A and B are shown apart, each in its own frame.
Chain A
């Protein structure tokens, strides 16, 4: 546990050195948030309500999505592990007396913690300043949002860990990212709230792991009854489900990869 705390702290500290990059990211996320929000406001000016979403819900989700881009990494970056699998440096990681998966989980949660504080908060703040957003009910509502955002970080890690381990079999995971980087944001609800999709498509996408990184946390913040079981608890349960399943798959893939597949490089 001590080592994981140390790795977490190091992940956090590492990102804290990229100050200019963080400012640039917040700026980009805010600008895209404003553009998306303006487009959606135009849409909702023509139709005041779509599948239970009104203009205020839609604009709020836009800023949740932009705020979570860093934490969820739906459009990247990949884990550093991915490069290490490709160039064989993963051999070094495997020679440590610590599980590969928990090591990288601690590292990535350090990254996510930094992103949550220094990217999510200011990006959402821009939305608060410029638009009329909807907020959760009371302290309990905000607490549920915080738990949900932490689960976003776990799901985000577990999914990218699987992408990275694919490298043991595929040699190069650029293809994985080409597909995931394109489909992931759509399925997550980053591009458009899933409520704007045809209902069946939206309902299916909601159940996939990507939605647990943007759409589900947005609905938890908005307190929507489209969540599984119609409640915030149902939404959190779905996120926990994906976190557990994806981490378990990751553990399985780790033992397969190290037992059957060759570590690359001399």
Chain B
């Protein structure tokens, strides 16, 4: 991540408007809607960046502009030094893209043949293909279903197949659109571990959109939040937490049910039998000592605000952008 490397992704003032035609036939009116407005973003080689936002915030439109299937209305963008919409086909051989809700594989072909077709598409030499496929087969445990037609694969297997297809040509940038959607916990974690390893060992830059905040917490050192087409946050995860006033919570298990705890710097927000939730507004250490002095405490846990609440607060507009 030295400064003399050119960025993998560089967008300046990127915007996209859509013209909608509304109203009854013959009396249609045009209305312009901005899906993405003035997005400036730079991603360095080797980063893992999470691109978050509620549905309709402009995530997919941004991804489409970065991969060249949507032409920006304003601003400029370079991905691996190319202008995506004008050099789409060239860019395609430098990046790998996985859409969680779609597949790039051929439903009627066995996975191995689908991947073989991909090899011809990216003109990967046979020896390189074989080596890389062996590596990925090992890492993603494709072995048991390489000969299975794609239509018979489970969602988790298919996703691993799609990841393989996107990585066989050794792309510098991997773009993932909701890669873990619909997967069970085991498959999710397998995919996350794989992505971390890919990033660490090959330095592949990863840009992913997700609604799964587990993905974000496990994978992303950097988080970009978009809302109503504008960047709402760009920074690391602790910074995102700090930017939203979501207090930490002390969960107190008392020896016996008691009236709500009242201590300086703490406010009881919930009581369930002997268990109480205290929202902290002061230093946890002082609150904890107060609570243990005044009450007969069986157990204590301090809960960090989870990122889900932070992002939800950010979506609701609780925080102005940081510039």
Binding site for B on A (CB under 8 A): 2-3, 6-7, 10, 14, 17, 88-89, 91-92, 94-99, 258-260, 262-263, 266
- How far is B68's CA from A94's CA once the two chains are assembled, in angstroms? 9
Residues of A within 8 A of B214 (CB): none
A/B interface sample: 13 pairs, CB < 8 A: A3-B120, A6-B116, A7-B117, A10-B113, A14-B108, A91-B102, A95-B97, A96-B92, A258-B85, A260-B71, A262-B18, A263-B70, A266-B101
Give the Cβ gap from B165 to chain A, nearest Cβ, in Å. Answer: 10
Across the interface, B102 reaches (CB within 8 A) one of A14, A89, A96, A259, namely A89
A262 vs B36: C-alpha distance in the bound complex, in angstroms? Answer: 14
Least distance between A73 CB and chain B CB atoms (Å): 19
Whether B108 pairs with A92 at a CB distance below 8 angstroms is no
Assess whether B93 is in contact with A259, with CB atoms less than 8 Å apart.
Answer: no
Binding site for A on B (CB under 8 A): 18, 55, 60, 64, 67-71, 85, 88-90, 92-93, 97, 99, 101-104, 106, 108-109, 113, 116-117, 120-123
> What separation, in Å, do the CA atoms of A132 and B201 have in the docked complex?
73
Once the chains are docked, how many angstroms separate the CA of A260 from the CA of B90? 19
Closest beta carbon of chain A to B140's beta carbon, Å: 20
Which has the most chain A C-beta neighbours within 10 Å: B92, B97, B121?
B121
Take A96-B92, A99-B89 as given contacts and tell me if A263 and B64 are in contact as well, using a CB distance cutoff of 8 Å. Answer: yes
CB A3 to nearest CB in B, in angstroms, measures: 4
Contact indicator B102/A94 (Cβ below 8 Å): no
Q: Of A17, A89, A97, A259, which one neighbours B121 at CB under 8 angstroms?
A: A97
User: Can you list the 3 inter-chain pairs with the closest CB atoms, starting with the nearest?
Assistant: A3-B120, A97-B92, A97-B93
CB pair A91 B64 closer than 8 Å: yes
Min CB distance, A19 to chain B, in Å? 14
Given contact pairs A92-B104, A259-B85, a sample of 20 additional A-B residue pairs in the complex whose CB atoms are under 8 Å apart: A2-B123, A6-B120, A7-B117, A10-B113, A17-B108, A88-B102, A89-B102, A91-B99, A92-B102, A94-B69, A94-B88, A95-B68, A95-B88, A95-B97, A95-B104, A96-B121, A97-B89, A97-B92, A97-B121, A99-B89
Residues from chain A with a CB closer than 8 A to the CB of B103 are 92
Given the known inter-chain contacts A91-B64, A259-B71, please indicate yes or no for A98 contacting B85, CB distance below 8 A.
no
For the complex, what is the distance from the CA of A241 to the CA of B107, rounded to whole Å? 36
Give the distance in Å from the alpha carbon of A88 to the alpha carbon of B99 in the complex: 11
Question: Are B64 and A6 in contact, with the CB atoms below 8 A?
Answer: no
User: In the complex the two chains form, is B121's CB within 8 Å of A3's CB?
Assistant: yes
Contact (Cβ within 8 A) A95 B120 = no
What's the nearest-Cβ distance from chain B to residue A260, in Å?
A: 7
- With A98-B89, A262-B18 known as contacts, the answer to whether A2 contacts B69 (CB < 8 A) is no
